[in-house]
Structure 1
């Protein structure tokens, strides 16, 4: 049943009709239609992501019954085409009248269309947005993108593009208004960041496909006004309070983990997967074999003296609890991977792990490190012509080790302490 009474259809009226919603329980699309008052049987059918014109009328046979009346064969709904295929409502009514005349003459346009389709050669498979996403994911896998990155693309597709993956890619390109509306819908229902991430994926997928399909329309995300995303401004300023909070955590492994983040600026994922075998105790480094960007971005992360002492004590504790050959630096009984995977502590006065990375970078600048030293320790790409490609953290050994020590000294001076914690000092002493 339509939510709208019959009306005199216009192109503007049809364009302003809201797309169909989904049932809150079953998820079924609640399609609806609006009938035209000028041409009986003409209607616009509104679905979740499309609108189309159709004619619904009775079909009669040329044969007549005993009373001389034509035999009714049933009611037929004939699709005229997508709303975007028509430039004027007059063109819609003209095509509707053609179909009505066929039905009056006893001709079923739907059956005629089926017969024509059966006799015509099979069309080439339509390349859909879903196909383009699959192709893009395959390229990313060949380039060695992290599994978490691939998984993120797949989650965005399942959550926000489920109704779009079956659409032909060319149709998506021809629908910038629809793409912009999708962005606004996701923003309203799921937030600005989720909407922007989805559009970035669509943009990357479309541009990747456009390099192979030269006659595609311009990228539809060009019509999207991306949401403003506020950069993180939360950083640690009271280091004494930060370390007091860390020392108060119940799990000693989590305590060591947060010290590691604070004194290295390491990303959370790389820190959680740190292995004992990758620590060079003599030279004061830990090798990070699979950071953000994949194995090709592997690097050696320098460690300060206090952190090295804490890690030695942590490894000894690990051996006592988890066994002598347990490989993980920050082990966990509760993770299927054997190491911390959900180390973020919420509700206990600690900023999130990535904010700690921001805090370390701020302290590194205050401690007098130059931008190259900071970027190498954080494993950021140095975009500086040929110079950037010539710098390698693994070849700068002692220089970066001294730089990391300066940051550690600065942080502990700000905290008003000289050892990691009383417990760690006793264990390392």
Structure 2
């Protein structure tokens, strides 16, 4: 078995059946000569399951020289050793001609290649693909996309070109634009195109080098008066049977704990250690964590007795997905009744932190309660530490100013 060289390739002659000339250096790499005289480079390999497969690298001639084909064979063998299957990837590539096709492939097979990405993140990707990427780019072929196209897509979303109303029967939601949504949608598009490059659908992601839009973060902190106003709105809607008790309970728990929505709406009884006043989350946005369970939450939890066969604290009101699907509309009703139309659910978490910091709590401890992994994440509350200092300074200065006025006497 010789080493494949240009001389060996040129000397290979056709026969009645296909002729194979295998390379002595790279296992499985060879030249195929058809009865008609066509010559192409191939790679014979076994999948991780043990199936024997043959991959056609390309026809001999430009651009495939024997040396180039050999390097490609080495590259493929490296991937095969790590579980890849070039033939399966090529078949998948044929079914991902358009961006819409690629989106289907990404959502169905992407989780296997990104096992550490959380299910909620995949649901977010699915929503962004449906709302923005499919409407604006779905019919485009993946291979035709350029960096300019990706940048233009981001600006189009920011300007609201994908914004539209959805079915009013499902809560009257709207697909909106803006810098934040545009950046998140573009990040999802970049991740999907990286996946396409890994699968060999494209040679390189056209999104490389595209910078995501930055938005000014407007942090909303509730005052004590606003907290009372919001709590009153929740109670009145619940009493009028316009707000399911489960949602009212979730909103109250968010106000009292500073937890994220996903942590509370999916809270399970087995995670609660009432004796020690702790919630032990087996998973969260930042991984497993233990967070304090403040004593005032006992009054909220007492309204939801444990149900046999149901591990969740708050019962779903719309079936398996009720815990998630009904909350956005319920929150819109609450903030409208409280006359705070701009208030986001996540602002309840910010407000919890703001009350703690303004009361003198150390940023490190506030970060531990909120489950921040990086201290820099908690720094957005640093300015609130100045509020008590300012109050003292103001009171002192007023006294001094009054004394100064009293001591100034005209001559």
Cα RMSD (Å) of the superposition? Answer: 3.8
Flag the 1:218–1:152 CA change in 2: closer, same or farther, 3 A: closer
Task: For 1:145 and 1:124, locate their aligned partners in 2 and report how far apart those are by CA, in whole Å.
Answer: 22
Q: Shift in Å at residue 281 of structure 1?
A: 1.3
> Is the 1:253–1:314 Cα contact (8 Å) retained in structure 2?
no
Answering whether residue 121 of structure 2 is matched by residue 156 of structure 1, we say no
Flag the 1:202–1:339 CA change in 2: closer, same or farther, 3 A: closer
Structure 1, unpaired ranges of 5+: 1-121, 385-409, 411-429
> Is the 1:246–1:255 Cα contact (8 Å) retained in structure 2?
yes
Matched with 1:327 is 311
Q: Shift in Å at residue 302 of structure 1?
A: 0.8
Matched with 1:24 is none
* 1:278-427 matched pairs, under 5 angstroms: 278-292=271-285, 297-311=287-301, 313-315=302-304, 318=305, 323=307, 326-337=310-321, 339=323, 341-343=325-327, 344-346=330-332, 347-349=336-338, 351-382=343-374
Q: What secondary structure, in the 3-state scheme, does the structure 2 residue paired with 1:345 have?
A: helix
Answering whether residue 215 of structure 2 is matched by residue 229 of structure 1, we say yes
Q: Shift in Å at residue 135 of structure 1?
A: 5.0
Matched with 2:254 is 261
Q: What secondary structure, in the 3-state scheme, does the structure 1 residue paired with 2:215 have?
A: coil
Task: For 2:123 and 2:324, locate their aligned partners in 1 and report how far apart those are by CA, in whole Å.
Answer: 19
Flag the 1:255–1:198 CA change in 2: closer, same or farther, 3 A: closer
**Greater displacement, 238-247 / 271-280:** 238-247
Q: Shift in Å at residue 365 of structure 1?
A: 1.7
Structure 1 length-normalised TM: 0.49
> Is the 2:272–2:280 Cα contact (8 Å) retained in structure 1?
yes
Task: For 1:144 and 1:329, locate their aligned partners in 2 and report how far apart those are by CA, in whole Å.
Answer: 27
Structure 2 length-normalised TM: 0.51
Task: For 1:147 and 1:246, locate their aligned partners in 2 and report how far apart those are by CA, in whole Å.
Answer: 30
Flag the 1:368–1:223 CA change in 2: closer, same or farther, 3 A: same
Q: Shift in Å at residue 303 of structure 1?
A: 1.1
Q: Shift in Å at residue 283 of structure 1?
A: 0.6
Structure 2, unpaired ranges of 5+: 1-89, 164-176, 239-243, 377-387, 389-411
Q: Shift in Å at residue 199 of structure 1?
A: 1.5
Matched with 2:236 is 248
* 1:8-407 matched pairs, under 5 angstroms: 130-131=101-102, 134-135=105-106, 138-141=109-112, 142-162=114-134, 164=137, 169-172=142-145, 175-186=146-157, 187-189=159-161, 190=163, 191-192=177-178, 193-207=180-194, 216=203, 219-220=206-207, 222=209, 226-237=212-223, 238=225, 239-250=227-238, 251-292=244-285, 297-311=287-301, 313-315=302-304, 318=305, 323=307, 326-337=310-321, 339=323, 341-343=325-327, 344-346=330-332, 347-349=336-338, 351-382=343-374
Flag the 1:258–1:158 CA change in 2: closer, same or farther, 3 A: closer
